[in-house]
Amino acid sequence: MDLVPYAIPFFLLAIAIELARDAYAKTGYYRTNDAINSLSLGVLSTTSKLVLIDIAGRVYAWVQQDLVIAEWRLEGWLSLVVAFVAYDFCYYWFHRISHERRIFWAAHVAHHQSEEYNLTTALRQTSTGFLLGWLFYLPLFLLGMPADVFVTVASVNLIYQFWVHTRFIKTLGPLEYVLVTPMNHRVHHARNPDYIDRNYGGFFILWDRLFGTYKAEDPRLPIDYGITRGLNSWNPLWANVHVYSDMLSDTLRTPRLRDKLKVWYGRTVFVPPGVQKSPVQPGNHYDPPLGTSLKVYIGVQFFWLIALGLAMTYLAGQLGGWELSLMFAYLLASLVLLGWLMDAAGPRWEWLRLMLSLPLIAILPAPLWVQAALFALVALSAVIYVPISRKEYGLPEGEGAN
């Protein structure tokens, strides 16, 4: 049983509480653009599963039918506990290889791009993990683990990892020796040379202690969050594909076949001959200036997209394939265009997004009053955006919609 959909409302509530505490304490752990970008990646990761091919499910079904080498005899709580520990062990190696090998890092990098560390970072998930992530859990199915048990323990493991993405909890004493906690997971998200590529555990930090990848947070060494060469964009689609793009470019530019293969299957730090990389810029934070009114406008528009994503998630069983695909395409385009808006790319992208909203609403499988309300929302947004765009971009009268 997948428990994640049931946890989503609690995730959002916890984020609201942490955001309120951040505002009250003036700790500066949240930035509007960074938080929206992280949540955008979370929305795309969740909704993309509704329209993309379920490679893992098909492979696991085939393995269970034809390749099982053992019978899973465990039942009840014992079955869940053993399965959970086994899953967490496989997760450690999946997570570690996802940092050490470039083809796997290409999918996992999305989770590490945020230069902040808060509960929205936990929801910053990839949309391309379905391509290869399933490989690391094949041993569980070869051993006969039932699919429903696997889905249950995998969702519990993922839900647990949510709360450790916070800076408000400093240390948990003896639990630091056994469990993944906010302290040791903060180290995992660091790009400092002394911290990088450490603490891969999902639930148990014991795996890191056992295999030599553990590192404690040093209060004398402040953590610099993010990836070594920053994304420098709020485009969630680019966040998902930029490493794949880099690998393709490097493959074309390096002359030797051996190096072309290492681009994909070598270590993440490998730079092939003939390729120049931009220098690492520690401490760099991407934060294009935006006016307060535009930030508020973007936030309000983003809430509508969150609502659309939630509707897709919870009503997927009542929607047809073409309806889900159309809604996902609109959601993706809208989040990309809002990202460009936060990149200060100009006002025209928002007008494009508002125009794209109209045909979607017209064919949305919803009551007439809901469609009318959404049309009114788009019209109101357009009216509000005219003075905001003029103020933000210094446009003269009559050019707000150009």
Q: List pLDDT tens digits, range 110-145.
A: 999 999 999 999 999 999 999 999 999 999 999 999
Q: At what angle do helices 292-314 and 321-342 cross, to 10 degrees?
A: 160
Query: Would you give the DSSP letter of residue 225?
Result: B
Q: What is the mean pLDDT of residues 174-192?
A: 97
Give CA torsion, residues 110, 102, 59, 236, to 10 deg. 20
Q: Which band of pLDDT confidence, cut at 50, 70 and 90, is reported for residue 77?
A: very high
pLDDT surpassing 60 at residue 395: no
**Which pTM value belongs to this model?**
0.92
Are 29 and 118 a contacting pair, CB within 8 Å?
yes
Alpha-carbon torsion 18, 24, 26, 31, what sign? Answer: positive
Are 55 and 122 a contacting pair, CB within 8 Å?
no
pLDDT of residue 207: 98
C-alpha to C-alpha distance for 126 and 119, rounded to whole angstroms: 16
Alpha-carbon torsion 176, 182, 188, 193, what sign? Answer: negative
Residues for the chain: how many in total? Answer: 402
Q: What is the CA radius of gyration of the chain?
A: 22
C-alpha to C-alpha distance for 175 and 163, rounded to whole angstroms: 15
C-alpha to C-alpha distance for 384 and 129, rounded to whole angstroms: 38
Q: Which band of pLDDT confidence, cut at 50, 70 and 90, is reported for residue 401?
A: very low
pLDDT of residue 394: 65
Q: What percent of the chain has pLDDT over 70?
A: 96
Helix (H) or strand (E) holding 67: none
Q: What percent of the chain has pLDDT over 90?
A: 74
